[in-house]
Amino acid sequence: MNKTYKISFRTQIKASKSLQKLHDCLKQLNVKHWAYDFQEFLLTLTSELPDFTRIQLALRSAGYVCHFIKLENMDEANGLSLG
C-alpha cells in the first residue's frame, strides 16, 4: 500500500492564472485532493507522491510560484504502521 503525504506550498494565484489551470496541473501528477486558502495563499495537497520537488517543478512550469513549506506523512500522523 502506498503512503499518503500532505504537502504544503505557499503560492499566489495571479489574475492571469486560473484555478482550472492549477487543477489540470495537479491532475497530471495524480494529486487527488487539494485545497487552497485564499487568505494565507497556502496550497495543500494530499498525494501518494513523496517527492515534493516533482510537484513543485510542475507547478512552476505551469507558471505558479510555489515555495515549499511542509511534507507530512499522513500514515505516521494518524498513528498507523503499514510497513
Q: In the 8-state DSSP scheme, what is residue 76?
A: H
Place of cell 505551469: 62
User: What global pTM score does this model have?
Assistant: 0.58
More confident residue, 16 or 76: 76
Write down the mean pLDDT value for the chain: 75
Q: Does residue 47 form part of some domain? A: yes
Q: Does residue 52 form part of some domain? A: yes
Q: What are the pLDDT digits (tens) for 25-39?
A: 888 887 878 888 877
Q: Does residue 9 form part of some domain? A: yes
Domain of 24, in residue numbers: 5-77
Q: Does residue 83 form part of some domain? A: no
Q: Does residue 59 form part of some domain? A: yes
The rounded distance, in Å, linking the Cα atoms of 58 and 74 is: 22
Q: Does residue 82 form part of some domain? A: no
CATH number for the domain spanning 69: value is 3.30.70.100
Cell of 31: 494529486
Total structural domains within the chain: 1
Q: How confident is the model at residue 79 (pLDDT cuts 50, 70, 90)?
A: very low
Q: What type of residue sits at position 39?
A: Q
The rounded distance, in Å, linking the Cα atoms of 83 and 79 is: 12
